[in-house]
Structure 1
């Protein structure tokens, strides 16, 4: 029987299971300790960041970064209108005010010119989201311009482990960068996130804030108000196992995207976003089609045993974030965007099967 191909599913290997079993057999206390510190070190080594603080989720990593950058009540933070809700939610959790900006039609990321024009005396930070590992040329120059104006740049690089811009790993270009390790990401620990920085003072604040505001674990003296945003060594054992094969994961993600592009390029009605696979490790396989054709295509795929997923909505139009304004590019891309099966479990023949069904649909 031909298996149902979900849009996404995690890949957990025998090596991951062995790492967990070995850790459990070692008598560790499960909460964060040596394995978590080693996991943080491995992320620094791979990305080139000086410092790393692991958090329970990518959302909380963003929250931690925002608080370490002194975002507080009513501070304005510019956020792209097309992103996962966590980006805006983290700002609101920190007490800030979200200011949405439209996206660039080519990269599908924050339009840097629009964002620059929105900066005012009330702006405290900009969150740049490297959607599906992409980024525009000139990101470093944008960060420099923001710094000259006293504005922090926090990178939401949740989808971007293994992606680079001008030789620098995404997440290390701004003041802070945040990754996610949820079940659908490049590597997974079930849930989890990380905030990286090259700024020692920001790192010290994050270390303080993620552990109740105390200077060191085991102490009951508190320098500031903080939270329990610690990780577990059990999850870190999985993370270390997956980091050990990250090069293999990156290669496979790129080859999957390349195979889809090979099979679907030139098909009338399908647009594949520009993706430089030399520098970009795509999290998902994304395509753009006519918004009126998207529901029947998704139905056609589902009826033939293939899952797919809508793009994120334009957040300004969601009840939780309702904001006046016009965001034509975000609205258009949200309406047209579709994610196709993207799991590391996919075989090449399964990718071809998905593409055959897409081609069948457009052939009418």
Structure 2
């Protein structure tokens, strides 16, 4: 019996993070990024297999810097999925590049490669491939790599939701593009409150990224500037938390998969509910994403049963911030029917069962709400 409100998502911090921050403060450090930040970067690089990792203050700026580092400038076009968090297009729009929206695959919610091909113009400089909820495109990551190479454009991976997920060829998601980007905002599997990371195997791209995030400095701690740069640095306090979070990542990946599997089993056979598929051998589901009928009624009913939910991203082109014409049937369908169910890593089996029982009651109860 669940007698408390089950939030759709909440971060998980423990005594380890608290102790790490207190220990650091006892050292009388400068708090700005230094040795612990380097340690955190190395842990991400080691986990993903990347040659370089550069952390920044959030996962939107990380995409901005990725685009800049691969040569995107104002006026260039960047292909972006119409199903994504608005940070993806905003990241390039911020410096004058033009996001060009393309619909997504029905099951993976990743870019539809055939539509991407049609959207490429002489102004296209990059493709931003978002691995929605850790999933790789059904068309295959190699197809996107080949397309980018053929057209002479950069492949950027927005892997914000994908730490702990892998491509079938054994590479971590984020390794296929010239740059891969992760987010550490509060809902992510690893959180530092805010924060982002960039991974790359390209030494020159890594050099550009490090200068872009730190005023264009030629080296740490000096005031000699080889190029234009900005201030998107990390902090040691974030790194203290991140180090402890990374130590917990393997166990969290296992639990995320268990959570998705239990939802899939408990929701099976309910007319009106469809769980988005995952290959658990490769993917650690970030959120539990489903398509549902009568979504607004379900949301209200679940709230009455102490269950929080969150509507999945509506199409970017339908939002007032962009308000663009076009036909995007998959993104629009998700905008109408997509729903995220409680997905926190600390979710108990009893809580999952309560959520699923409430959903089943809504669709199959005596009043067939």
| TM-score normalised to structure 2 length | 0.96
Alpha-carbon separation, structure 2, partners of 1:233 and 1:116? 43
Corresponding residue number in structure 1 for 2:291: 288
Match for residue 227 of structure 2? 224
Inter-partner Cα distance in structure 2 for 1:325 and 1:162: 34
Q: Return 5+ residue gaps in structure 1 as ranges.
A: none
**8 Å CA contact retained: 1:254, 1:281:** yes
Are the aligned partners of 1:215 and 1:222 in contact in 2 as well (CA < 8 Å)?
A: yes
Aligned to 1:88: 89
Q: 2:35 matched to which residue of 1?
A: 34
1:187-336 aligned within 5 A: 187-290=190-293, 293-336=294-337
Could you tell me how far apart the structure 2 residues matched to 1:22 and 1:257 are? 36
Residue 121 of structure 1 corresponds to 122
What secondary structure is seen at the aligned counterpart in 1 of 2:91? helix
Per the TM alignment, residue 144 of structure 1 is displaced from its structure 2 partner at its CA by 2.2
- What is the rounded CA distance, in whole Å, between the counterparts of 1:199 and 1:159 in structure 2? 23
Contact 2:189 2:345 in 1 (8 A): no
SS, match of residue 46 in structure 1 = helix
**Quick one: distance in 2 between partners of 1:185 and 1:306?**
20
CA distance in 2, matches of 1:60, 1:278: 31
Q: How does 1:32-181 map to 2 (within 5 A)?
A: 32-137=33-138, 138-166=140-168, 167-181=170-184
What stretches of structure 1 move > 3 A for 4+ residues in a row?
none
Q: Deviations over 1:265-317 (max 9, x none)?
A: 12111111111111001110111012xx1001000011111100000010011
Distance in 1 separating the partners of 2:26 and 2:268: 50
Partner of 2:20: 19
**SS of residue in 1 equivalent to 2:223:** coil
Give 1:94 shift: 2.8
For residues 270 and 176 of structure 2, the distance between their equivalents in structure 1, rounded to whole angstroms, comes to 36
CA displacement at 1:69 relative to structure 2: 1.0
The Cα offsets for residues 175-206 of structure 1, whole Å up to 9 and x where unpaired, read as: 11000000000100000000111111111100
Q: Is the 8 A contact 2:33 2:233 kept in 1?
A: yes
What's the offset of the Cα at 1:346? 1.2
